[in-house]
Amino acid sequence: MTNFRPKKRFGQHFLDETWAKKVVERINPLSTDCFIEIGPGNGVLTRLLLKHSENITAIELDRNLAATLKESLPDTVRVITGDVLGVDLSEISRQLKVKHCARLRLVGNLPYNVATPILSTTLKIAEKSDIWDATYMLQLEVARRVTATVGTKDYGPLALLTLLYAEAKEILRVPPGAFRPAPKVKSELISLRFKRNNKQPADPVLFDKLTRSIFNQRRKYITNAMADIARHHDVDPHSLCERTQIEPTRRPAELNLSEIIRLSNLLLALST
């Protein structure tokens, strides 16, 4: 499948085999692992993973690529044709667990135009689906927002969402020339180790709205940054800070995950 032409509308950039081998080294697959691969493309990563584990489910949006993968890969690989955002990952995970996998793992060279929604979706289903980890290739800019820490310029809603469900780290910088065609940006391989029994906000939707609202005004004091959403819920932002013991002159990027969860939970309690 090396001559398959990448399609721009699907955001396809096929990884060179030399770099795919480096990705597999970082994944460190075991024979007892089961994999769900998102966007296998021309199958270069799939074939390398097959040398370690036969239990692979690959989800490919491109019908032509999916058909070719079904023909060229062994029967132990299940190829699903469809959009990963419309596929029931929880059900796929359940089916794989029947095979008594030691670890259920996600991998993917994610299309950059839909990487963030795919990341968000898999983060939210990972714990209930008993998924152990994920290894994703992302645009460097997105990877930095995923792995950002408190007080940094990239720290914001995506980092907080990730922190709710996983421990994230960057594990391999990948140049544009590692892909065909070469993208205009650098890429980064990230590892997500999913948390178990992690503390969640009382209302995840409200938590998401709060983080987006305050980081839209990240340079303001927290009382001013959350004024709009507090007003919408008929709550005094100064009271929120006082009751959560958060200094009102701090800025959104200075607040850690537990502090923002406290704000979100109190906002919910005072508005119901």
CATH of the domain at 226: 1.10.8.100
Q: Which of 161, 194, 227 is the last residue of a domain?
A: 194
Tell me whether residue 83 is annotated as binding: yes
- The per-residue pLDDT for 269 is 96
The average pLDDT across 167-180 equals 96
**Can you tell me whether residue 82 is helix, strand or coil?**
coil
Predicted pLDDT at 111? 84
Helices (H), 28-147: 44-50, 63-72, 89-97, 115-126, 140-147
pLDDT for the residue numbered 56: 96
Cα distance between residue 154 and residue 138, in whole Å: 15
Q: What is the mean pLDDT of residues 225-240?
A: 96
Q: How confident is the model over 251-262, as pLDDT tens digits? A: 999 999 999 999
Which residue did the predictor score with more confidence, 196 or 48?
48
CA distances (Å), origin 160, targets 52, 56, 247: 34, 30, 20
Q: Is residue 219 classed as helix, strand or coil in its secondary structure? A: coil
Quick one: 95 and 227 in the same domain? no
- Local confidence band at 234 (pLDDT 50, 70, 90 cut-offs): very high
**Are 184 and 77 contained in the same domain?**
yes
Q: How many domains does the chain have?
A: 2
CATH assignment at residue 44: 3.40.50.150
Q: Look at residue 12 and tell me whether its pLDDT is greater than 70.
A: no
d(CA 171, CA 21): 14
Q: Are residues 148 and 261 in the same domain?
A: no
pLDDT at 28 over 50: yes
Asked if residue 177 and residue 265 are part of one domain, the reply reads no
Q: Is there a single domain that holds both residue 122 and residue 227?
A: no
What pLDDT is recorded for position 140? 97
Q: Is 82 assigned a ligand-binding role in the annotation? A: no
Q: Distance (Å, rounded) from C-alpha 220 to C-alpha 76?
A: 54
**Does the N-terminal peptide bond of residue 204 adopt cis geometry, omega within 30 degrees of 0?**
no
* Residue 85, annotated as binding a ligand: no
Q: How far is CA 224 from CA 125, 154, 241, in A?
A: 33, 20, 11
Check whether residue 170 and residue 214 sit in a common domain: no
Q: Residue 247 is part of which domain span?
A: 204-270
Indicate whether 3 pLDDT > 80: no
Residue 26 falls within a domain, yes or no? yes
Domain termination residue (choose one: 166, 194, 222): 194
User: Are residue 63 and residue 161 in the same domain, yes or no?
Assistant: yes
Does 4 score more than 70 pLDDT? Answer: no
Instruction: Please give the pLDDT value at position 10.
Output: 47
In this structure, is residue 1 part of a structural domain? Answer: no
- Does 28 show up as a binding residue in the annotation? no
Mean pLDDT of 11-40: 93
CB atoms within 10 A of CB 140: 14
Is the predicted pLDDT of residue 131 greater than 80, yes or no? yes
- Please say whether the beta carbons of 129 and 57 come within 8 A: no
Mean local confidence (pLDDT), 35-51: 96
Entry pTM: 0.91
The reply to whether 86 sits in an annotated binding site is no
Q: Decide which of 194, 218, 245 is a domain's last residue.
A: 194
Share of residues in the chain with pLDDT > 90 (%): 80
| Residue 232 annotated as part of some ligand binding site | no
Give the mean pLDDT of 228-252: 96
Kindly tell me if the per-residue pLDDT of 144 is higher than 90: yes
Do 218 and 112 have their domain in common? no
Q: End-to-end CA distance of the chain, in Å?
A: 57
The answer as to whether 2 is a domain residue is no
